[in-house]
Structure formats: C-alpha cells, structure tokens
Amino acid sequence: MTNRSDVQHPTLREANQTSSPGWVATLAHARPEDLQFCFGPLGESNARSRSLYLSNESGAALPLVAERSNCYAIFSGVLFNRSALAAEPGRFLEATCRDDAEIILAGYLRWGQDLLHRLRGTFALTIWDSTNEIMLVVRDPLGNHPLFYAQGRRDLHVSPSLSALLSRTDVPSDLNRAALADHLVDRYPSLDETFYAAINRLPPGHALRVTRDARRTFRYWDPAPPDREVNWLTPDEVERFDELFDQAVSRCLSVGPTGIFLSGGLDSVSVAAVATERSQAEGLTRPWALSLIFPNPKENEEIVQRKVASQLGLPQVLKPFFEATQENGLLYPALELSKSLNAPLLNTWLPAYSALALEGRRRGCQTIITGNGGDEWLTISPYLAADLLRELDFRNTYRLYRSMRRSFKRSRLAWMRNVYWTLGTKPLIMTPAHQFVKSFAPWLLKFRHQISLRPAPWIIPPWLSPDPELRRELKQRREAEHERRKQGTSSYYIREVRTALEHPIVSWEFEEMFEVYQRLGVRMLQPFCDADLVDFLYRTPPMSLIYDGRNKGLVRRSLSRRFPELGFDRHRKMEATSFYSSLIYQDGGKIWQNLNGARTLGSLGIIDEKVLQPTLDGLLASRREGRNAHRAWTILNVESWARNHVS
C-alpha cells in the first residue's frame, strides 16, 4: 500500500520544474571593520578583485543589470511607474534607458537616495555607487517581492532567494531555534529574522545601506511615520478611492494576461469588476475568473462566483476543492509542499490554490491577481473601540459595533462582547493593571496560564524550550519586544493598523506566495497592496470606512455605484474556520502517529517531547474550532519541515 505522506501532489511536481530568481549579488570584503572597496566593473565572476559581482543558480531567472558613471543597478521585478518617473520635471531619462534597471539607475544619478520613495512596483533592487562607496539594497514598499541578505566570512550576499544564499559556502544553514520556538506559540518579535540563523530578511519598505564605516537598515517608505500625527484625509480626498483603486488594478493588468482568484467576497469581486472595466478601457484580453469550490454548504459560494463571472462576462474555471488537493484532505499535500519551502508553510490552503493557478497558466495567464490585503486595509480594526471609549465617544463606539455585527456572520452577543469588552474596555484596564502587578507582585503572574494553549506573552509553556540556554534567549526576546511596544503610539487603532506594515507574518506570507507561484510560472499581485492605495487607505478616517452601517464602506460604495446589479451592498464576510478545523482533525492524528513524535524539534532543544505528547493529544481530541486546531497543525507542520531542513 502506498503511504499517502510520500505521494507528491501533481501541482508540486510541475512546480518544481520551473526556474526561480536564484541570483546573488555579493559585495566583497563587506564587514564594516575591514571594508576595502575595490573599484571595478560588475561581472559574473567570483574574482576577489571585483567589488561587486553577480552569480546565478543554474536555470534561474537573470535580473536586469545597468551600468553608468561608475554606478551599477541590479533589478528583478516590475516597476509600475516608469511613465510617472519619465514625466518628472527636468529631462533625466535618455533614449538609451531601455529597461527598468536603466531607468532606476538614471533616477539614482539624478536624485541619489531620494529616488527610493518615488519607486512603485514589486521588486528587489541593489545599487552599487563605486564613486561614493555606497551600496543600497532595496525591497519594494509592501514587500510583494522577497529580499534577503547574509554576512559571509568576509562578503555580504544579497538575494531574493533563501536557497541561493544557503548555497553559498560561507553561509551556514543552521536553523534559528528561537524563531521556530516563538512560531510554535504565535510570537514574532523580530521583523528581520528568518528561520535560518545566518540569514536576515530585508523588511518591506526598507533599504539596507552599506558604506565604508557602517551598515544600517532604514524605512524609506511609510504612509504615516509613528513619531508623527497621522495626516488624515479630508472628505473630498476620500472621494479619490475609485481613481487610486483603478490605478492599482491597471498596474497589475499591465504585467501580462491575467487570472483572478474569484471567491464570493467583496475584495475579490471588486478586483474582478474593476479589472473587467479596465481591461475593456485599455484594450486588453478579459481576465480569467479562477474559482475554488468548497464542499461544505456553509463555505460554498459557487452560486455567487458563477453569477459574478457571468455578469462581468469573464471566462471561468470552477475547480472543486478536493479535486484541487488531489487528496481526501488538505494536510498531506500541505505538508508535502511545506517540506519543499525555505520556511514552514504559512498558508495551509496553498496546495488547493496552486492547482487553481496552474489552471490559469494553462489558459495563458502570466499574472494572478487577488483580493488579498482587503481585510487589512478596507476594514476598521475593532481595536478602534478602545480609543473611542477612552475618549468617551459612545456614539461612534455604537456605530463601530453595528458595522461589525452587520458585516460578519457572528452573533450580536459575540460582537457586543468583542467591541465593548475584549477590544474596548479590557485593553484600557488590563494594560495598566498588568504593569502594576508586574512591578509590585510579579509572582502573581505565575499562577496564570500554567499550561496554556495560548499562553500570555510573558509565559513560556512547559513543553517549549527545555534547553535552559534557549529559554533564557526567549525571555530576553520577550523583554526586548515589550520595550519596543512601549515606544509605539498610544492609539490602539494605529498600533493594530501598523501590523499590516510591520508584522513578520505579512512579509513571510508574501515571500511564501512568491516562492510557490514563481515555481508555477505565474506572478502573484494584490491591488490592495499597492503603495499609493495603501498610503490613501492608511490615512482614511476610520469612520469613512463604513457605508450604510457596514464595514469595507469604500468598496461597497464603489461597487453599488459602478456595478449595482451585483448586489453586494449587504454582503457579509464568509469564514471557513469550521471547514479548516475539520480537515486538521480529520488527518492530524494519523500524521502525528506517522511522525512518531517530534524528535527533530526535541533534538534541537525546542520542545520537550514527553510534555508535548499529552498536550498535542489533548489538542487533537478537543475537536474545537479555531485556536486548538491551529496550534496542533503548527506543531505537526514545523516538525515535518524541520526534519527536511536540519543540517
């Protein structure tokens, strides 16, 4: 009999045949204390006489390279605003600027580092200015394109590919034990770390600047820096939403023939509607609607998906969920995919959506666009309740509660508890109370969450980090994270909104999508993660995001005005928590039995196997939706992944 865990999903077999962007730019002698710049041209060579050289994995996609006036640019990705840069006052783009790398280099020679905040697109960029002895490494504003760096024995290596960096002989492949331990309990204290101890990520919207004397990372793009007051939009400015949304969608369509992941939700429907309109206006081929059909009636949106595609006149692929996964479940193909990635799989649904993307590629789609980012940027964070109650603004607190109740399929009582207590009054009371207890009676905290499935930030569960050295490191990371949080804004709403810019999971999700879909030969883009649109939405007053007493007001208003026949003004968000949990409980126990324990994580000192065993058994036996299922899957996934990545 064939072991299901050894069966590779057909999508994965096809994906593994596709090349990746495995280039590495290396700055020789790059430690600040012994940096010696050697002036010379850019080349594909390992000669130590070159100050900067470019190498490439066999079969990997080559980046664009430009050279002018002793400056060099290495660029991979897409630059969306070429025409806007060309229209800047003063002539700086010459006829010889043939591609994005040459345009960017011309801009750098004109504006220097000030060029960075003008760039729009999805890209990884390296600029080497040999005259001024400066190297700039730049990741696009929202992090759609990955970018990592590693310090070798003497050289600094930069690449959009973790595997390309790990192939360097002077870059150790040791796993980052603290990052894996924190991931097991949903803690992410560091934005720049990866699951490899020697490799760092360059965060979205950041640049790494290397000079003779120093190396520093800085944010070059920010819609509202946390040390300043937010420049909220006026009512007239809020009316520009349609214009900026159109621009964001058009930018995605410009990359090539397009498919759209079309669910029955507001975000993907709005993207599909605008993409249809823009395709007609710009003389482009109509996008394909790519829809996944969930088997449970509670999550099934097939009727809506068919209706939207029909009314928009889009050709459509409807793929049943279990046909997409090629298994009677989700976890086996998810674990198989996870093993092949450079980080444990974050989005468990990816095997199904990868199969859907392949259907698009077989029909000529080069780009897949989605409604990702809509939940983060179109929805009011319910943490606004804490700010409103602190200001005794009961009227808008009620408006917030009412919009949540009418926008999501949860009970009136659940939303009342969330808005008025959990996310409203509780933070105002518990934060100062916790600080008081921690200062004057810290021993009281030990009685809380002794064995917790979701431990408080200051508690390390008994099954985690039995190694004393690792436990000390985790405690130090907690303290450092706590100090950083204290330095942030006092607004609970802004603090929550900024997680969409600064949380490591956001960057990790983009990196994962890039790696998986790159293998399939398609580019994944998200209009709601367009820098100009995010800048607009970040600074939109929260109450302007409500329309007719419902959340996601800007999209609802836009759809009802431009496509009234779709009837989405009263739509409620569909959630698949129940179906997701059932899939984990269906196969989780068998997978845990096949793994025969978490021996790899145990050997790394990350978990105590004896203590974990009854804990995980309890999680799998609970059959509870949500938190328990997620924790059980995370443990299974990380153990399986680690077995394939321990040196």
Q: Please write the tens of the pLDDT for every residue from 170-191.
A: 999 999 999 999 999 999 989 9
Could you tell me which residues are beta bridge partners of residue 138? 125, 207
Burial of 522-549, coded b for 16+ CB within 10 Å and e otherwise, reads bbbbbbbbbbbbbebbbebebebbbbee
Q: According to the model, what pLDDT value does residue 98 have?
A: 78
Q: How confident is the model at residue 348 (pLDDT cuts 50, 70, 90)?
A: very high
Residue 561 has pLDDT above 90, yes or no: no
Check if the beta carbon of residue 359 is closer than 8 Å to that of residue 319. yes
Residue 441 has pLDDT above 80, yes or no: no
The residue that leads in pLDDT, 458 or 38, is 458
Q: According to the model, what pLDDT value does residue 566 have?
A: 67
Q: In what order do the strands lie in the sheet with 71-79?
A: 64-68, 71-79, 121-129, 134-139, 206-210, 215-219
- Mind listing the pLDDT tens digit for each residue in 225-248? 888 889 999 999 999 999 999 999
What percent of the chain has a predicted confidence (pLDDT) above 70? 86
Query: Where along the chain do the CATH 3.60.20.10 domains lie?
Result: 10-219
User: Nearest to residue 118, comparing CAs of 73, 88, 77, 161?
Assistant: 88
Q: According to the model, what pLDDT value does residue 436 have?
A: 56
Q: How confident is the model at residue 32 (pLDDT cuts 50, 70, 90)?
A: very low
- Mind listing the pLDDT tens digit for each residue in 280-324? 999 999 999 999 999 988 788 898 899 999 999 999 999 999 999
Q: How confident is the model at residue 133 (pLDDT cuts 50, 70, 90)?
A: confident
Task: Please give the average per-residue pLDDT across 333-358, as a whole number.
Answer: 96
Which class would CATH give 10-219? alpha beta
- Mind listing the pLDDT tens digit for each residue in 72-104? 999 999 999 988 887 776 665 655 677 899 999
Task: Please give the average per-residue pLDDT across 387-392, as a whole number.
Answer: 95
CA separation for the pair 19, 57 (Å, rounded): 9
Q: According to the model, what pLDDT value does residue 54 have?
A: 85
Pairing of strands 316-320, 288-293: parallel
Q: According to the model, what pLDDT value does residue 433 have?
A: 61
CA separation for the pair 273, 276 (Å, rounded): 5
CA Rg value for the chain:
25
The residue that leads in pLDDT, 146 or 32, is 146
